[in-house]
């Protein structure tokens, strides 16, 4: 695995060098240095699980056959496309870009990082909070997103699945942006209403905002590289989406109960009035008096309000409820995976599940 990650990182260096010499744009010294710094700060950090999963999945689909250097490079290039996309989206570089997807006149309501109160990402300050960056991060997000088709065009234009790759990335981006929209319009300042929150709303947000790009995209890339038609693998997509929902529920739990040093960020779901799995379950379990406490304190930034909500979670044993959910989810997913007719696909799905079960970050 260490050797694979080393090869993966070398491919990043190749892709970065090529993008910094892209003939479509006449770089100045300052602009080249800015893009290089922006890429190095945002793209290769973190665990790189999404990107590495393309190589892992492709290798498992080959059922033990040793991959050629060319195959490793191409799978790595696709993995880096996902990491590029993740940097533009999940690491909040496009905190203002979402306003262009939604409604420009209300952009201040949908500045994702600011609405989330995000200060850190992957254990370091968010890019837009660095000196001299600020609003320039808007354009940086656009630049990052536009690097993806440049990479795909250079290395996959002659492949029979090139159009399918473009369709895949475009579709997943649309799904993710739509999920982000649902998330944002449930937390508009001045319209805080816990009665809007339910398990079905939470599931819908998570399915589109997280599951497709965090889980399905990597495997779909590996399937296309293997010559498979995605339309014949709807069952695989459904399992991965369910896995992605389980993953986000874990994230919601860790936002409240996880160690910031371990997870690499400071959780702010309570302050931000997020439609978190924890608050949805709390609403299901609490009595009228407890519900009143939740309504009075959830979504307020004061530490006392946050502490009151966390105390209520303890009172309702939300940690125990989560442990039960995690156990049942694991059993259900394992049953679905073992019911798949392809042992190679089973291996891919079991690999994903094994990486996230009972994770602490």
Burial class (CB in 10 A: 0-12, 13-18, 19+), 205: buried
Q: What CATH number is given for 189-360 in this structure?
A: 1.10.600.10
Q: Quote the pLDDT of residue 145.
A: 87
Residue 116: active-site member = yes
Query: Annotated catalytic residue: which of 50, 92, 95, 112?
Result: 112
Q: Quote the pLDDT of residue 121.
A: 63
Q: Quote the pLDDT of residue 107.
A: 26
Query: Annotated catalytic residue: which of 56, 91, 113, 116?
Result: 116
Q: Quote the pLDDT of residue 108.
A: 27
Residue 240 makes CB contacts below 8 A (sequence gap 6+) with 211, 215, 216, 219, 349, 352
Residue 272: active-site member = no
Residue 209: active-site member = yes
Residue 252: active-site member = yes
> Three-state SS string across the chain, please?
CHHHHHHHHHHHHHHHHHHCCCCCCCCCHHHHHHHHHHHHHHCCCCCCHHHHHHHHHHHHHCCCCCCCHHHHHHHHHHHHHHHHHHHHHCCCCCCCHHHHHCCHHHHHHCCHHHHHCCCEECCEECHHHCCCCCCHHHHHHHHHHHHHHHHHHHHHCCCCCHHHHHHHHHHHHHHHHHHHHHHHHCCCCCCCCHHHCCHHHHHHHHHHHHHHHHHHHHHHHHHHHCCCCHHHHHHHHHHHHHHHHHHHHHHHHHHHHCCHHHHCCCCCCCCCCCCCHHHHHHHHHCCHHHHHHHHHHCCCCCHHHHHHHHHHHHHCCHHHHHHHHHHHHHHHHHHHHHCCCCHHHHHHHHHHHHHHCCCCC
Residue 215: active-site member = no
Residue 8: active-site member = no
Query: Annotated catalytic residue: which of 107, 204, 257, 350?
Result: 107
Query: Annotated catalytic residue: which of 56, 113, 164, 251?
Result: 251
Residue 328: active-site member = no
Query: Annotated catalytic residue: which of 113, 183, 255, 272?
Result: 183
What's this model's pTM, rounded to 2 decimal places?
0.88
Q: Quote the pLDDT of residue 134.
A: 81
Residue 204: active-site member = no
Q: Do domains 1-158 and 189-360 have the same CATH topology?
A: yes
Residue 269: active-site member = no
Question: Can you give the C-alpha Rg of the chain in angstroms?
Answer: 21
Residue 112: active-site member = yes
Q: Mean pLDDT of successive 10-residue segments in the chain (361 residues)?
A: 85 97 96 95 86 96 93 97 80 43 28 46 75 83 90 97 97 90 76 89 95 96 98 97 98 93 85 94 97 95 96 97 98 98 97 93 85
CA distance 348 to 336: 13
Q: Quote the pLDDT of residue 114.
A: 31
Q: What CATH number is given for 1-158 in this structure?
A: 1.10.600.10
Provide the residue ranges of all domains of the chain, joining segments of one domain with +: 1-158, 189-360
Query: Annotated catalytic residue: which of 50, 121, 145, 281?
Result: 121
Query: Annotated catalytic residue: which of 50, 145, 209, 281?
Result: 209
Q: Quote the pLDDT of residue 266.
A: 84
Q: Quote the pLDDT of residue 265.
A: 78
Q: Quote the pLDDT of residue 109.
A: 23
């Amino acid at each position: 695995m260490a050797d694979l990650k080393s090869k993966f990182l070398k491919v990043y260096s190749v892709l970065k060098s090529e993008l910094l010499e892209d003939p479509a744009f006449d770089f100045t010294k300052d602009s080249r240095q800015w893009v290089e710094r922006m890429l190095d700060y945002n793209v290769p950090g973190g665990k790189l699980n999404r990107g590495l999963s393309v190589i892992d999945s492709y290798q498992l689909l080959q059922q033990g056959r040793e991959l050629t250097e060319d195959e490793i490079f191409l799978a790595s290039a696709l993995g880096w496309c996902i990491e590029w996309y993740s940097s533009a989206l999940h690491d909040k570089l496009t905190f203002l870009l979402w306003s262009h997807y939604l409604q420009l006149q209300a952009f201040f309501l949908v500045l994702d990082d600011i609405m989330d109160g995000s200060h850190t990402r992957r254990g370091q300050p968010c890019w837009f909070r660095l000196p001299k960056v600020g609003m320039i991060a808007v354009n940086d997000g656009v630049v990052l997103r536009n690097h993806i088709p440049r990479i795909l065009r250079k290395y996959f234009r002659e492949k029979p699945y090139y159009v399918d790759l473009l369709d895949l990335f475009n579709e997943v981006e649309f799904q993710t942006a739509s999920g982000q929209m649902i998330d944002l319009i449930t937390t508009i300042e001045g319209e805080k209403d816990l009665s809007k929150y339910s398990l079905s709303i939470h599931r819908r947000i998570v399915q589109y905002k997280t599951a497709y790009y965090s889980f399905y995209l990597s495997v779909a890339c590996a399937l296309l590289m293997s010559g498979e038609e995605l339309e014949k693998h709807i069952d695989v997509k459904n399992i991965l989406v369910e896995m992605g929902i389980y993953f986000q529920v874990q994230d919601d739990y860790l936002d409240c109960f996880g160690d910031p040093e371990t997870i690499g960020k400071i959780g702010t779901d309570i302050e931000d009035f997020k439609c978190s799995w924890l608050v949805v379950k709390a609403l299901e379990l609490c009595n009228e008096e407890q519900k009143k406490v939740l309504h009075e304190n959830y979504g307020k930034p004061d530490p006392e309000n946050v502490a009151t909500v966390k105390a209520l979670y303890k009172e309702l044993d939300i940690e125990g409820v989560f442990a039960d959910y995690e156990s049942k989810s694991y059993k259900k997913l394992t049953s679905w995976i073992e019911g798949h007719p392809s042992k190679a696909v089973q291996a891919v799905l079991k690999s994903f599940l094994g990486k996230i079960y009972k994770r602490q970050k």
